[in-house]
């Protein structure tokens, strides 16, 4: 996308977007000198270490190390890809993006999404027509309000003798038969094309960006199945989707929690009752991809709840969810309903307060899972079998921190040493152990100190940059990456480019370091004297450069081929010694 959009367009977006205003939608910021600080949204902390510079257009957390610009912040906080972040910020900034030249695959996806958006509008029109009376009465009887119906875009696919109401409408819209069938909205049998959904209440399924990508249809009559989902298409995979995730996005983030139920109506009734962060798994068994989607919207620290039936089948489903959570790295709490009740029934019968209390009493999934395998007081053999089962499930975890925390907790519950869960400790151990925790790269620890400080001074002060160029210091820098970065910064100051933009273009380790150094200096009680620091660094760099040149000449003198070459090298050494310090 970056290659398809002119850099001047991206720069216009940067110029029009206030990073402080953007971040303030997610983080409570307080001004601190030239910058703003707050609690980092990317890790748990009690003392603010998250710093934002509107002037330079970047942020940096001094706790977890996350940093970047407006685009990267939105990507991280909303779990978006770069093109999605650009499109979102362009809308906020009022910047029109150039039309993209789509590849064949992207073009198909865009056409299919457009078809689904158009179909959703058609279903809404049918809902409001005379043909929608039966459907409206049904949802009114179920207790669904007009406001909820409107918010979720519920519609109607009417029944007809020919089963071709949508088919004919697509024909009027000049939609190709091939595209309509590929969308899954129409089906084809023995050369005849017909509506896949007939006589059904239509629930649009949206992606996290709010685009309709599929539908779920609830039969009004006795047709089976009662609920029918769109088939898998290039834009929809049933096991990946979550109903209501786009509509509930803000509520999920505001409450820092999400409730997963099985059916559309369960989710809608919970939302209407006062639990606006409820979503549904499209009537399918819980999948790891669905949990990853939820985590992408809710964030790493959100509380995730699952509703299960309180009977044996429900408890078995909750046990199976443990392995799915391990695979996804998303952990939740199972809430169990009385036998024969679903979330819709429960919230109607007991009210929202009792429903929330049921959620708040839900155990941690690990505690429930271990308790099901080996209740308190279990014999040694039962606890041993449970430990082997837990080890199999923990082996699916890729995050080493999660693995260690859960292994220790399971060990406490089972009365065993956490080492038994280590890969290879039992016959069913996973072949690949969870990767060891990797420390953050610290290339800056081996950067020449004087060259690093000089680069920081150049990034912060245009006068220093011009002084460095005037005294031809760039050629004396020994570290290639620092020399290239400092040169790029000097060029930027020369032509008046934004230093924040230049920093974004630098290698990530250097960019990350500079964001931290610049923000820390901005927040210091006494800003450093950049020119003085640059002069001191330049003197050290010059001395080091001179020493290295002298060492090289002495080595060359030792292997000189003849007296003439030897005398020439000696003259160079004498000239070098006589140069003195000129900075």
- 7-93 maps to CATH 3.40.50.150: no
Q: Let me know the angle formed at the C-alpha of 50 by 44 and 54, rounded to the nearest 5 degrees.
A: 150
Instruction: Give me the pLDDT at residue 15, please.
Output: 85
CA distances to 205, 270, 358, 481 from 353, in Å: 28, 11, 9, 59
Q: At residue 68, does pLDDT exceed 60?
A: yes
Rounded Cα–Cα distance for residues 210 and 164 (Å): 28
The confidence band for 283, taking pLDDT boundaries of 50, 70 and 90, is: confident
Mean pLDDT computed over every residue of the chain: 84
CB 22 within 8 A of CB 36: no
The confidence band for 383, taking pLDDT boundaries of 50, 70 and 90, is: confident
- CA-based nearest residue to 281, from 306, 314, 301, 299: 306
CATH architecture label of 443-579: Orthogonal Bundle (1.10)
- Return the DSSP state at 43: S
Instruction: Give me the pLDDT at residue 580, please.
Output: 52
Segment 308-336 mean pLDDT? 88
Distance, C-alpha 64 to centroid of its chain: 16
Residue given tokens 């409107």 in the structure block: 150
The confidence band for 133, taking pLDDT boundaries of 50, 70 and 90, is: very high
Taking only the tens place, the pLDDT of each residue in 286-314 is: 888 888 888 878 877 789 999 988 888 88
Q: Where are the domains of the chain?
A: 7-93, 105-236, 249-362, 443-579
Instruction: Give me the pLDDT at residue 245, please.
Output: 92
Quickly count: other Cβ atoms within 10 Å of residue 526's Cβ.
5
CB 184 within 8 A of CB 236: yes
What is the domain class of 249-362 according to CATH?
alpha beta
Taking only the tens place, the pLDDT of each residue in 456-500 is: 888 888 899 999 898 888 888 888 888 888 898 998 898 888 888
CA distances to 20, 89, 569 from 521, in Å: 18, 29, 45
Q: At residue 45, does pLDDT exceed 70?
A: yes
Instruction: Pinpoint the alpha helices (H) of 335-448.
Output: 343-360, 365-373, 380-394, 400-414
Taking only the tens place, the pLDDT of each residue in 138-178 is: 999 999 999 999 999 999 999 876 788 999 999 898 888 88
Taking only the tens place, the pLDDT of each residue in 410-461 is: 888 888 888 888 765 544 443 344 333 333 444 555 788 888 888 988 888 8
Q: Which of 41-50, 198-207, 312-321 has the lowest mean pLDDT?
A: 41-50
CA distances to 80, 81, 293, 297, 519 from 209, in Å: 9, 11, 12, 10, 33
The confidence band for 128, taking pLDDT boundaries of 50, 70 and 90, is: very high
Q: Which of 137-146, 183-192, 304-313, 526-535 has the lowest mean pLDDT?
A: 526-535
Report the percentage of the chain scoring pLDDT > 70.
88
DSSP readout, 509-551? HHHHHHHHHHHHHHHSSS---HHHHHHHHHHHHHHHHHHHHHH
Half-sphere exposure (Cβ direction) of 183: Cα atoms closer than 13 Å? 31
Segment 542-551 mean pLDDT? 72
Structure tokens at 505: 């273009």
Burial class (CB in 10 A: 0-12, 13-18, 19+), 244: buried
The confidence band for 100, taking pLDDT boundaries of 50, 70 and 90, is: low
Instruction: Give me the pLDDT at residue 424, please.
Output: 52
Q: Which CATH number fits domain 105-236: 3.60.10.10, 3.40.225.10, 3.40.50.2300, 3.90.980.10?
A: 3.90.980.10
CA distances to 204, 493, 549, 554, 555 from 566, in Å: 85, 44, 16, 10, 11
Instruction: Give me the pLDDT at residue 579, please.
Output: 58
Instruction: Give me the pLDDT at residue 581, please.
Output: 47
CA distances to 91, 114, 137, 240, 556 from 107, in Å: 21, 11, 40, 21, 64
Q: At residue 75, does pLDDT exceed 80?
A: yes
Rounded Cα–Cα distance for residues 557 and 116 (Å): 79
Report the percentage of the chain scoring pLDDT > 90.
31
Q: At residue 359, does pLDDT exceed 50?
A: yes
Rounded Cα–Cα distance for residues 86 and 83 (Å): 5
Q: Which of 62-66, 153-157, 263-267, 565-569 has the lowest mean pLDDT?
A: 565-569
Instruction: Give me the pLDDT at residue 55, please.
Output: 86
Taking only the tens place, the pLDDT of each residue in 5-22 is: 777 788 888 888 899 989
Instruction: Give me the pLDDT at residue 137, please.
Output: 95
Q: At residue 276, does pLDDT exceed 90?
A: yes
The confidence band for 563, taking pLDDT boundaries of 50, 70 and 90, is: confident
Q: What is the pTM of this model?
A: 0.62
């Amino acid at each position: 996308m970056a290659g398809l959009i002119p850099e001047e367009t991206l720069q216009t977006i940067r110029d029009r977007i206030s990073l402080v205003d953007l971040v303030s939608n997610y983080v409570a910021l307080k001004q601190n000198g030239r910058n703003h600080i707050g609690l980092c949204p990317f890790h748990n902390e009690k003392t603010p270490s998250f710093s934002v510079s509107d002037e330079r257009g970047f942020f940096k957390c001094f706790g977890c190390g996350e940093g970047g610009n407006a685009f990267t912040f939105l990507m991280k906080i909303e779990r978006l890809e770069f093109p999605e972040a650009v499109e979102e910020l362009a809308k906020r900034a009022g910047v029109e993006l150039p039309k993209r030249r789509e590849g064949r695959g992207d073009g198909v996806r865009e056409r299919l999404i457009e078809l689904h958006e158009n179909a959703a509008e058609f279903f809404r029109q049918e809902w409001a027509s005379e043909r929608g009376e039966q459907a409206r009465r049904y949802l009114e009887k179920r207790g669904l309000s007009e406001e909820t119906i409107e918010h979720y875009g519920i519609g109607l696919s009417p029944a007809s003798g020919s089963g071709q109401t949508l088919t004919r409408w697509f024909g009027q819209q000049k939609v190709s038969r091939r595209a309509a069938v590929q969308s899954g909205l129409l089906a084809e049998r023995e050369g005849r094309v017909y509506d896949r959904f007939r006589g059904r209440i239509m629930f649009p399924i949206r992606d996290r960006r709010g685009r309709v990508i599929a539908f779920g249809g609830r039969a009004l009559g006795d047709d089976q199945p009662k609920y029918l989902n769109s088939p898998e298409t290039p834009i929809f995979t049933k096991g990946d989707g979550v109903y209501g995730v786009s509509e509930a996005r803000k509520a999920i983030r505001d409450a820092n929690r999400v409730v997963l139920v099985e059916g559309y109506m369960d989710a809608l009734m919970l939302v209407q009752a006062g639990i606006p962060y409820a979503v549904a798994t499209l009537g399918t068994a819980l999948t790891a991809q669905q949990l990853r989607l939820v985590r992408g919207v809710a964030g790493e620290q959100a509380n995730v709840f699952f509703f299960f039936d309180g009977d044996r089948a429900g408890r078995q489903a909750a046990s199976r969810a443990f392995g799915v959570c391990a695979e996804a790295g998303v952990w939740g709490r199972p809430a169990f309903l009385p036998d024969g009740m679903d979330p819709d029934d429960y919230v109607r019968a007991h009210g929202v307060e009792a429903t929330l209390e049921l959620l708040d009493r839900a155990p941690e999934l690990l505690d429930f899972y271990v308790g099901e395998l080996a209740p308190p007081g279990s014999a040694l053999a039962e606890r041993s079998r449970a430990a082997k089962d837990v080890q199999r499930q923990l082996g699916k975890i890729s995050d080493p921190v999660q693995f260690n925390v859960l292994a220790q907790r399971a060990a406490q519950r089972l009365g065993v040493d956490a080492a038994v869960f280590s890969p290879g400790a039992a016959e069913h151990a996973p072949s690949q152990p969870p990767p060891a925790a990797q420390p953050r790269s610290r290339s800056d620890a081996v950067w020449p100190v004087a060259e690093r400080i000089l680069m920081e001074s150049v990034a912060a002060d245009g006068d220093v940059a011009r002084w460095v160029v005037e005294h031809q210091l760039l050629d004396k820098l020994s570290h290639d990456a620092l020399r290239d970065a400092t040169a790029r910064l000097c060029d930027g100051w020369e032509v008046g480019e934004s230093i924040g933009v230049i920093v974004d273009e630098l290698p990530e380790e250097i960019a990350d370091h500079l964001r931290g150094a610049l923000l820390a200096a901005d927040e210091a009680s006494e800003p450093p004297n950049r020119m003085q620091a640059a002069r001191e660094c330049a003197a050290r760099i010059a001395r080091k450069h001179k020493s290295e040149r002298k060492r090289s000449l002495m080595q060359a003198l030792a292997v000189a081929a003849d007296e003439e070459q030897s005398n020439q090298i000696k003259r160079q050494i004498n000239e070098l010694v006589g140069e003195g310090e000129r900075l």
